Homo-oligomer: A and B are copies of this chain.
């Protein structure tokens, strides 16, 4: 089945393929009366946009978003907000090889196995290009949760991690890697450039923090805040792991090490630690919500790999053309968008039940 809608009451639906005429999103359930224009969305698309440095794919897409509905006199009306982004740089190339053989690591074989055939041009629907629609929808979600501040960054590339001691939020937008550690950013230049030149690719870890999430948001048990965040992030192409708070590290701790002790604070409790990542029992505790997301290395590489053709014969394939040497880098604005979309939904859900 195909399920291209996400959310319970604040919902969005995305559509579009890498090489079709356009991609887009329909955002439904948005509260009325929020001031909005394309200018509120474009900056987020610009952060995710390809072709801005030599560390991302060279596809040139202006990614200009148009609002087609749901806004009147500069404000949301409460009706569906249709967002469209035209595809401009669908380079006409020869896809005959990709059409006939499966690129390992890509969704080629799986789509064929499911649907019997596939739109092979640039990966079709399974292209990372789809995430532009998420980012556009996420920009609308942010307007719904002005009390929340969401910030994602790249924590590691190819196994090379930032040094927490060097964490400087001001750095995140100061380098092409969304890297909060200036020294790591410098190292990554060489690392990513090397992978690019070698026709190879690198994985990455994205961290994201949302501050200002009020205690109480969350919809236990099967739409828990952490479960929704996990689904939202795992639905991003190339993501293979999600952690909340200490994540897998928590599995190594003892109970007394993992407890987030509390003291009386000025506004509710003051927590002495945040191993939980701001979520307990699926409900926000008021602490910062912390999530980590693992991106595998881009599957498109210039090294020939053993594979089979559609008719089942042995062959080799290597992916020509433009690609991100580390698709995780542009994952940072996408993770931010997904977190915003989940939180907007959870805010409205909480308001529905608890007034």
Q: Which of chain B's residues has its CB closest to A24's CB? A: B82
The docked-state distance in angstroms from the alpha carbon of A231 to that of B7 is 13
Decide if A306 is an interface residue (CB 8 Å cutoff): yes
Contact among B11, B32, B118, B280 with A110 in the assembled complex (CB-CB below 8 Å): B280
Contact among B130, B252, B261, B285 with A159 in the assembled complex (CB-CB below 8 Å): B252
The docked-state distance in angstroms from the alpha carbon of A119 to that of B247 is 28
**What residues of chain B lie closer than 8 Å to A205, measured between beta carbons?**
248, 251
**What residues of chain B lie closer than 8 Å to A303, measured between beta carbons?**
255-256
**What residues of chain B lie closer than 8 Å to A228, measured between beta carbons?**
231
Decide if A288 is an interface residue (CB 8 Å cutoff): no
Q: Which of A10-55 contact B (CB under 8 A)?
A: 11, 13-17, 20-24, 26, 28-33
The docked-state distance in angstroms from the alpha carbon of A164 to that of B26 is 44
Distance in Å: Cβ of A323 to nearest Cβ of chain B: 9
- Contact status A234-B240, CB under 8 Å: no
Contact among B104, B114, B262 with A78 in the assembled complex (CB-CB below 8 Å): B114
The docked-state distance in angstroms from the alpha carbon of A202 to that of B251 is 7
Contact A224 to B219, CB < 8 A, known contacts A116-B32, A281-B111, A306-B262: no
What is the size, in residues, of chain A's interface with B at 8 Å between Cβ atoms? 155
Copies of this subunit: 4
Contact A328 to B158, CB < 8 A, known contacts A111-B283, A113-B285, A117-B77: no
Decide if A61 is an interface residue (CB 8 Å cutoff): no
In the complex, 26 of the A-B residue pairs with CB atoms within 8 angstroms, ordered by the A residue number, are A4-B80, A13-B28, A15-B81, A20-B68, A20-B69, A23-B69, A77-B119, A104-B261, A105-B275, A105-B280, A107-B280, A110-B284, A113-B285, A195-B254, A200-B255, A204-B251, A234-B242, A241-B251, A251-B295, A253-B296, A254-B297, A255-B300, A256-B305, A258-B297, A269-B312, A348-B353
